Every structure is written in C-alpha cells, then in structure tokens.
Amino acid sequence: MTNPYAPPRAAVKDVRDPHATAVPADRGTRLGATMLDGVIFAAMVYVPLLIVLVLLVPAAARGSAGNSAAEGAFVVGGLVTIGGFIAWCWFTVKFVRQNGQSIAKRMLGIKVVRSDGTSITLGRIFWLRNILNALISIVPFYGLIDALFIFGESRQCLHDKLADTIVVRA
C-alpha cells in the first residue's frame, strides 16, 4: 500500500555533464589549426591567382596585342581567384554545418561546440566567432588579448567567450 501523504515521485534520467566527456583541444593544436586554415585559404585563393599572373602576364606583355592580352590575363586571374574563394567557402560551410569544424580543424581532429557540449550552428560561428570578432578587432591590441585568453584554465579565447563556445577534440 502506498502512502497517500508521501511526496510525488518522478523517474528522472541523469543529466550528462558535457565537460566530463568533452576533452578540450590542446592549445598547440588550436594554433596549428589556425595557421593551417590560413595556408589552406592562401593555397585555394591566392596561389592560383599568382600562378595565372606569373604565367599569363609576361606572355601577354610579349604578345602583339599588348594591353588587351594583359587585361585578359588579369580577368582570368580574377576568375580563378573567385573560383578558389567559392570552393573554400563551400568546403568551410559544409564542414561547419556537419560538425562545427573548419577545414584544418577537421584535419587535426578538433571541433567547436557550445559551452554546454551541444552542437554549434553555422550562424553562431559566422556572426559571433567571426563577424563580431572582426568588428571588435578594430580596437588596438584586441587580437593579442583575444589570443592570450587561451592560457586561462578554460582554454577559451575571448572570441570563444563571446560566442559561448569551446574547442574540443572531435
């Protein structure tokens, strides 16, 4: 027989602590991912432009058409650059939407999640981690201060704190 005066009972599942399973990414891995992302961007956008300009502009300058051929080389270089930028954007958006990773973060096995361990949205990464951070970087020494925050116990840069994110091992 149950006690009619007993407090009500409910079956409650244990709440998982996301920080218990999410291992923060190493500071060196995060630095490496940032640098590698810059190299990948340059390789996809600027290097093709330089190759086109190095190959086409001297040949165009030697040609009989002169300025029109050189202008054509610059147009081709611009189109190659735009194509590389579109490819970089496509891969970056694809990986961020899939798992909160940039191209380099995917290669190095780290990802960005919310501080509570849930998946991050493309909008949060774009607006809070990138656009807001870029606007604030107008302030002198902000970039240095942002980077130095990684040496705190939480391993969060200032842009991570602004976006309520953490970088963890994938």
What are the pLDDT digits (tens) for 101-156? 999 999 999 999 999 889 999 999 999 999 999 999 999 999 999 999 999 998 99
At residue 66, the pLDDT reads: 56
Task: Encode pLDDT of 56-109 as tens digits.
Answer: 777 666 765 556 777 777 788 889 899 999 999 999 999 999 999 999 999 999
> Nearest Cα to 111, choosing from 161, 34, 166?
166
The alpha carbons of the chain give a radius of gyration, in whole angstroms, of 24
- 113 and 100 Cβ atoms separated by less than 8 Å: yes
Percent of the chain with pLDDT over 90: 66
Q: Angle CA(60)–CA(65)–CA(66) in degrees, nearest 5?
A: 55
> Nearest Cα to 168, choosing from 94, 114, 96?
114
- 168 and 111 Cβ atoms separated by less than 8 Å: yes
pTM of the model: 0.79
Q: How far lies 15's CA from each of 12, 19, 170, in Å? A: 9, 12, 21
What are the DSSP E strand ranges found in the chain?
A: 110-114, 165-169
> Nearest Cα to 85, choosing from 112, 47, 116, 118?
47
Domain boundaries, the chain: 24-169
